[in-house]
Structure 1
Amino acid sequence: MQFQSVNPYNNEPVGKFTALTKDELDEKLNKSQNAFESWKKVPIAERCQLIRNAAQVLRDHVDQYAKMITLEMGKPISESRAEVNKCAWVCDYYADNAETFLAHESIATDASQSFVRHDPIGAVLAIMPWNFPFWQVFRYAAPTLIAGNTGLLKHAPNVFGSAQLIEEVFTKAGVPDGVFQNLIVHHDQTEKIIAHDAVQAVTLTGSEKAGAAVAEIAGKYIKKTVLELGGNNAFIVWEDADIDKAVKIAVTARMLNCGQSCIAAKRFILMEAIYDEFVTKFTKAVSELKSGNPLENTTQVGPLARRDLADQLNRQVKESINQGAKLLLGGHQKDCYHEPTILGNVTAGMPAFDEETFGPLAAMIKARDIADAFALSEASKYGLGVTVCTKNVEKALKYADEVSDAAYFINELVKSDPRLPFGGSKKSGYGRELAKDGIMEFVNRKTVYVKL
């Protein structure tokens, strides 16, 4: 089977990739299992240094890696560079902190000695998406490998070029053969991979449908899963907010990566008193964004990653308008490009409110008061994050327990940070990545009890 990655900006081919044969896949899975036996015995200080080496490789080749990201999925080149540098950051973070995170935890009991140690578990399969083709992988790989596990990557087929370069990063860093391997396979091989004795856990970032399917397979084989799925984040603006600052944050929160982010702000829930001012200023700011060739440094909005994604977004726009939403900006699509679009007077029941909109579409929603705003925010099956913009931070903090999402940001867009746990609730998945939580997901917290 052949795969081809295509530049969504001009439809030109980027690369061709041949799927692994059955025997080749078996060889890689067995190699991962064998590599684990030696890798887990490498002193943690040495593993940390190798991951620190990976950070340097990323920085040394940032332009090469960024160009591949942009060619394969259309992200503006400035954002691609930022993504590669963020990957270097997460490598450095775990290289600096892993020994502390994985240290034995002494617990006082009636034993002469009792403690918890943190041992690696084996190979961890990562099923990763195309929208942040480097970052999604490195935020899993850095803690997973440092903990002594081996890694297997099943990337999205439209970014197999990025997947090959990621494997190359670890090779150049000096990570031993077999510790991190890229698998060029069709998704119909997923069960075979999960069922293999080498694989002890699976992490997936992707759609709700994909997460449910993989979790079902992993459950069949009693393999742990971490799922980071879709989102429909609310961006709430109170009456007392600094509207100019809120608009600036909101534009980035919605339009970064051309809106193709699970944690992007998608539903803008605005107090009635400031609705018109916010919408007017937000619309002006979005209209001034520069669209064009994503390889140009000045481009802020590029194409969506595939034509079917643009088609899906356009369907959501049209259906919402047919149900009463007001088109305030954009709305047009040509091939993979979809204009930045703003819909006003969006209400529950419309696709722009109920569904995850994976592209440059902002839904403007009126709220009667703060209580109504949080009720509207909670009216979603997803639970990744909520932003509240206000000058009354103390009051906003009191509403943290009203939010069922896994993140609550005040006066800032919801974003991932290596130092903070990241994940979802409800249909947005379970488990945590990043921070200490992320490295603990794929270790055996082993109780040791000694009595003299």
Structure 2
Amino acid sequence: MTTTYRTQNPATGELVEEFPYVSDNEIQQTLASAASAYRIWSAMPMAERGKILVKLADLFEERAEELAAQATLEMGKNTREAIGEVQYCARIIRYYATEGERLAADQELKNIDGQTAILRRRPIGTILGIMPWNFPYYQVIRFAAPNLMLGNTVILKHAEICAGTALKIQELMREAGVIEGAYINVFATHDQVSTIIADPRIQGVSLTGSERAGSAVAEQAGRHLKKAVLELGGSDPYIVLDSADVATSARRALFSRLSNSGQTCTSNKRIIVMDDIYDEFVAELTKLASELTPGNPSDANRSEYAPLSSEAAAIGLMEQIEDARKAGATVHVGGQRPDLPGYYVAPTVLTDVPETARAYSEELFGPVVMIYRVHTEGEAIELANSSSYGLGGAVFSADEARAQAVADRLEVGMVHINAFNVGGEDLPFGGVKRSGFGRELGPLGMDEFVNKQLITVNTPR
């Protein structure tokens, strides 16, 4: 049998372990088990499900270092960042465990002619989650936690390079008390994923991933009349209108971009800077990037950068850099792979990226900074909105009203003023345009895969 799920160390290229696909018969058993568990899990009082999720949050906190080490091994995440990701997962789980009953509470509507109308939020069944590798715990938990609290059951198809992480999540679910069948990890092929989506026992699908994967899943979900939530790519604008300390602004922009080795959908991939501070900004950011050296992600510090997740990721990013260079972009620093084992790409600074370059319109998923010069707020807004993506964005200015006026015109799902990539377990996350649709986290995270059931009672007079 072909094996594609695997644990492979991005820092060395070493193949650690491989995992076989499940059989078609196992897929059918998974679907049956999840459907059967739904009848039990959804009938359980929400408070009881909440207690189980509290235990799950405790386990994530207690085993943060162990879980982080697995993420570092499988996708190269800096261990310090991986621990933070696991701790964030614990906060997300605890949020839904403690706030879920309030978020899903019955809502009384306007009483007309003696008739009582109530909007109830009820679970709908089994939901398929298709999750990526870049945040191997967070992406799963932000989808699974609200659905489990609501009473839905979950089938989870993780990224092929995160098999060990996927198994650890399932192990914690069982240990916390999530009943058999309510959360099932499955090492499925793409064809088997299509089978799952088509099955009448599946009531919805949530995907975080590439634009191409989102298009394919949305087409299949639509054909089979299944609700879908898609969180896809991003090329977020990061607009610097002015700065009293350009060096600090450049440092903040660079290290925001290099978080998770630049492999973040909401990363500040397009930095848009006003003409009067542009030259100083580019020079400072280039100097900082040139000082970084490759490091072991298990103990990397702020002066070192981690590898990308895979050889394919490194090759693909280098192709985009080379295409930009050939199209006329200026490469100030980086643009090459160090002569080392593993999947490292040196932090790269690009300017003068023309519209003909792939990098202008595609998502750059790695440590590449694109900086654009603009002369007016209007020019900054036009450039920011020229992307087909619309996930997040940020505007920086000492004049808050000036920043607000620009932020108000950005075509994105999330916009931040004098801050970047602000998030929290209680804040909705999602985008517009080709960045997908639907929302996760916060109160909206429990409002996607739910039966908003209307109940009316006509009281006799």
State the TM-score, normalizing by the size of structure 1: 0.97
Counterpart of 1:147 in structure 2 is 150
Counterpart of 1:66 in structure 2 is 68
RMSD: 1.4
Counterpart of 2:3 in structure 1 is 2
Counterpart of 1:319 in structure 2 is 323
What SS does the corresponding residue of 1:338 show, helix, strand or coil?
coil
CA apart distance, 1:249: 2.6
CA apart distance, 1:245: 3.9
Tell whether the 8 Å contact from 2:243 to 2:249 is kept in structure 1 after alignment: no
Match of 1:308 among 308, 312, 329: 312
Tell whether the 8 Å contact from 2:395 to 2:406 is kept in structure 1 after alignment: no
Percent identity, aligned pairs only, is: 38
Moved more, 289-298 or 21-30: 289-298
Distance 2:393 2:203 in 1: 33
Tell whether the 8 Å contact from 2:353 to 2:370 is kept in structure 1 after alignment: yes
Moved more, 4-13 or 50-59: 4-13
CA apart distance, 1:242: 4.1
What SS does the corresponding residue of 1:388 show, helix, strand or coil?
strand
Distance 2:324 2:285 in 1: 20
Counterpart of 2:171 in structure 1 is 168
Would you say 1:378 and 2:381 are equivalent positions? Answer: no
Counterpart of 1:247 in structure 2 is 250
Instruction: Map 1:12-411; keep pairs closer than 5 Å.
Output: 12-110=14-112, 111-240=114-243, 242-298=245-301, 300-334=304-338, 336-411=343-418
Tell whether the 8 Å contact from 1:269 to 1:366 is kept in structure 2 after alignment: yes
After superposition, the Cα gap between the structure-2 partners of 1:193 and 1:183, relative to the gap in structure 1 and judged at 3 Å, is same
Tell whether the 8 Å contact from 1:14 to 1:72 is kept in structure 2 after alignment: no
Letter in 2 for 1:311: I
Tell whether the 8 Å contact from 2:3 to 2:20 is kept in structure 1 after alignment: yes
Question: How many pairs align?
Answer: 452
| Partner deviation per Cα, 1:152-197 (whole Å, 9 max, x = no partner) | 1001111111111111111111111111010011112111111222
| Partner deviation per Cα, 1:13-56 (whole Å, 9 max, x = no partner) | 23221211111111111000000001001111111111111111
Moved more, 18-27 or 128-137: 18-27
Tell whether the 8 Å contact from 1:242 to 1:390 is kept in structure 2 after alignment: no
Structure 2 stretches lacking a partner, 5+ long: none
Letter in 2 for 1:2: T
Distance 1:99 1:7 in 2: 41
State the TM-score, normalizing by the size of structure 2: 0.95
Structure 1 stretches lacking a partner, 5+ long: none
Tell whether the 8 Å contact from 1:14 to 1:71 is kept in structure 2 after alignment: no
Tell whether the 8 Å contact from 1:269 to 1:365 is kept in structure 2 after alignment: yes
Distance 1:338 1:407 in 2: 29
Tell whether the 8 Å contact from 1:260 to 1:360 is kept in structure 2 after alignment: yes
Distance 1:391 1:107 in 2: 44
Distance 2:260 2:159 in 1: 17
Letter in 1 for 2:442: A
Distance 2:97 2:166 in 1: 22
Tell whether the 8 Å contact from 2:377 to 2:406 is kept in structure 1 after alignment: no
Letter in 2 for 1:302: A
Distance 2:297 2:407 in 1: 38
What SS does the corresponding residue of 1:163 show, helix, strand or coil?
helix
CA apart distance, 1:290: 4.3
Moved over 4 A (4+): none
CA apart distance, 1:241: 5.5
Moved more, 213-222 or 400-409: 400-409
| Partner deviation per Cα, 1:307-343 (whole Å, 9 max, x = no partner) | 1111111111111112221111111125521000001
Moved more, 396-405 or 252-261: 396-405
Moved more, 3-12 or 34-43: 3-12
Distance 1:145 1:268 in 2: 38
Distance 2:252 2:277 in 1: 16
Counterpart of 1:445 in structure 2 is 452
What SS does the corresponding residue of 1:449 show, helix, strand or coil?
strand
CA apart distance, 1:122: 0.5
